[in-house]
Amino acid sequence: MIDSVKPLSSEALLQVLSLSEDATAIYTSEDLRIQFANDGMIAIWGKDRSVIGKTFEEAIPEIKGQPFTALLQNVWRTGETYTAKDTPANLVVNGKLQTSYFDFTYRAILDEQGQTYCLLHTAKDVTESLKHRIAIAENTKREQHMNEELAAMVEELAAANEEMAATNEELSATNDELIDTRDTLRRSLDAVKESEARFQNLVREATTGIIVLNGDNADILIVNNAYARLIGRRVEDLLHQSLFSIIPEAEPAFRPLIDGVRTSGEPVYLYEHPYFVYADGEKIEGYLNLVYQPYREYGEEVTGVMVLCQDVTSQVDGKLRLAQAEERARLATAAAKLGTYDFNFKTQEVITSPRFDEIMGFNAPQKHEAYLGVVHPDDLDLRARAYQKAFKTGHLHYTARIIHGDEIRWIHAEGTIYYDSQHQPERMLGTMQDVTGQQLQQQQKDDFISIASHELKTPVTSLKAALQLIDKLKDNPNNAMLPKLIMQARKSVERVGILIEDLLNVGRLQQGEMHLQKSEFIVSQLLNACCNPISIAGKYKIQIQGDLELQVEADEHRIDQVVTNLLNNAVKYAPDSELITVVISRENGFAKVAVTDYGPGIPEAKLAHLFDRYYRAEPSGHHVSGLGLGLYISSEIIHRHGGELSVTSEVGKGSTFYFTLPL
């Protein structure tokens, strides 16, 4: 007994459909919600699999205004299948709106009550096929015209032959009419010669290359100047020669075609076919449209092949250059992270690339008003002035702010205006770039210059004042103020030296000139040396704990610089925390040093920026000196050692900065 066949599940059916070579989609409601689409349909739409679950027009917004939504909904309501061929559709593929042609079928799937419960949509892209058919039709028309001309010439020859036959009959019938017959024969021969001369002249002057080949050896019976130029020869050098004895390099590609036409008696058409030959040691190459036509001298027997050659090298090269230029432009735009747009001044329609929408804060193309609506109100006048200038010069460029979600970002727009015949602005093509990073970097530079000027001014002013007082007291060396003034001058010089050293270190890092001089040393000994100056001051107590015998191989001077920076930061940013704890430990093959203060802590929003260049986390209530370079330099030093510098903090409880070094 044969077991009953188990029906396929819905999931299995969808899996089968997904393997179909035809593009296939399934809609499950009258508003055309997409339940399924295989890779073929996704590719036709120019989208990705995020369209699943969306309605037809939500997934493909450019389909609005085209007839397909109404056709699908009509099939849903009536249950009647709709089929169409060679139908144009405008779709956005790779960010570009383009027209393609499709054969497609909309089929309603009905339940037991005859009600539609889903639509099956199958489609096939026939764009290239349609273009090919059109090209074939055009070539066929041209060939038909040529054949008609050839047929007319053949008819002339046939008429002449008929006249000759009639003349011969008259000659054999009566000697009395011999003189008249001879005259008639002469006239007939002249007509034949004239007809043949016209044919030869037509072939010779044709701009299309023509050659007639005869027999197995492809002997050249007729050839014109256009063909001779294609292979770099003269007509007189080709006539009555075997073609492939002159251009043997072409035989592998073209001999099978010629033999095939002679054998089958059927013509062969080739388009944009590559060829190459050698003439005087130089290579001639290009692309040809070719027609191989069977040639019959007598009766129906094919005795040779007529070949028509049209040089299309410039057209093919042009298409290749265009494709390469488009690809270079696409790669350049992608590399520069540029968005592109095409704005129609008359219709206010704007076509944008996905990157443009991303820059402007949108997930999909919008109307012009939506893009204009995100421009910062304070920069609308700046934008308007840029457009007024562009209408005069033809070129637009401006930098402005936009409101991108809950943040302010900077954009730079470039564009070229194209005018109609009345020199009125018609459309503008341009690019959009997010320059927020550059603007922030410039702002950082401006802030740094301001901070550096301020930070250098303070110790220099103090030094200048101390020197002026010392100059006044130089004749009284026993004055009690002199030691204090000298100490003040020394501190000012040291402060200037620290600032200059930070700037030099940043320069070395940027130029890759900070080299490490590694040696072995005990971490706790280095920490003691760094802590002593702070401990001697008496206000702060520093506890060094953990593995006091741990030894590392590193640049001792640079690690001293890192530790000193962390300790000074603990004093500056937590001035009321009298206890600072330093813990040495060994973790997963690394030495770890943690510096903890018990001050106000650092807000979470600032933690991510602490190691940025020029960033200073100002504690609330007072200003601290510095260029915002210490942690940045320290982080770079530790990274060059193969370790990590990081921080944990809790507001109100203090902060812990720690770094690791490989053992």
CATH assignment of the domain containing 205: 3.30.450.20
**569-581 confidence digits (pLDDT tens):** 888 877 777 889 9
In a domain, 2, yes or no: no
In a domain, 331, yes or no: no
Out of 78-82, 126-130, 196-200, give the one with best mean pLDDT: 78-82
E strands, 320-424, in order: 339-344, 350-352, 395-404, 407-419
CB 213 within 8 A of CB 243: yes
Q: Are 155 and 281 contained in the same domain?
A: yes
- CATH classification of the domain holding 446: 1.10.287.130
Tell me the residue type at 540: Y
E strands, 263-329, in order: 268-279, 282-295, 304-311
Q: Are 452 and 426 contained in the same domain?
A: no
Of 125, 153, 175, which residue is a domain's last? 125
- CATH classification of the domain holding 528: 3.30.565.10
Q: How many domains does the chain have?
A: 5
In a domain, 644, yes or no: yes
Q: Are 294 and 378 contained in the same domain?
A: no
Of 317, 347, 381, which residue is a domain's last? 317
Q: Are 424 and 290 contained in the same domain?
A: no
Domain that holds residue 83: 10-125
In this prediction, residue 627 carries a pLDDT of: 47
Q: Are 90 and 152 contained in the same domain?
A: no
pLDDT confidence tier of residue 160, bands split at 50, 70 and 90: confident
In a domain, 326, yes or no: no
In a domain, 322, yes or no: no
What does pTM read for this prediction?
A: 0.34
Out of 3-7, 450-454, 538-542, give the one with best mean pLDDT: 538-542
**16-58 confidence digits (pLDDT tens):** 566 667 899 999 998 999 999 998 899 889 889 999 999 999 9
Of 317, 347, 373, which residue is a domain's last? 317
Query: CA separation (Å) from 561 to 50, 557, 567?
Result: 53, 6, 10
pLDDT confidence tier of residue 621, bands split at 50, 70 and 90: very low
Question: In this structure, what token pair is assigned to residue 473?
Answer: 């007291």
CB 446 within 8 A of CB 434: no
Question: In this structure, what token pair is assigned to residue 613?
Answer: 């260049």
Angle at 182 between CA 178 and CA 185, to 5 degrees: 135
Q: Are 296 and 184 contained in the same domain?
A: yes
Please tell me the distance from the alpha carbon of residue 64 to that of residue 70, in angstroms, as a whole number. 10
User: What pairing do the DSSP bridges indicate for beta strands 541-546 and 219-223?
Assistant: unpaired
Q: Are 239 and 178 contained in the same domain?
A: yes
Region 616-644: what's the mean pLDDT?
A: 68
CB 308 within 8 A of CB 208: yes
Burial of 443 (0-12, 13-18, 19+ CB in 10 A): exposed
In a domain, 365, yes or no: yes
Q: Are 531 and 647 contained in the same domain?
A: yes
In a domain, 570, yes or no: yes
In a domain, 330, yes or no: no
Q: Quick count: other Cβ atoms within 10 Å of Cβ 286?
A: 17
In this prediction, residue 624 carries a pLDDT of: 45
Q: Are 424 and 444 contained in the same domain?
A: no
CB 573 within 8 A of CB 595: no
Q: Are 104 and 151 contained in the same domain?
A: no
% of the chain surpassing 70 pLDDT: 75
* DSSP assigned state of 281: T
Question: What are the two backbone dihedrals, phi and then psi, of residue 224, each rounded to the nearest 5 degrees?
Answer: -110, 175
Please tell me the distance from the alpha carbon of residue 43 to that of residue 25, in angstroms, as a whole number. 12
Q: Are 156 and 299 contained in the same domain?
A: yes
Q: Are 43 and 118 contained in the same domain?
A: yes
Helices (H) and strands (E) in the chain, counts: 20, 22
User: What pairing do the DSSP bridges indicate for beta strands 541-546 and 579-587?
Assistant: parallel
% of the chain surpassing 90 pLDDT: 33
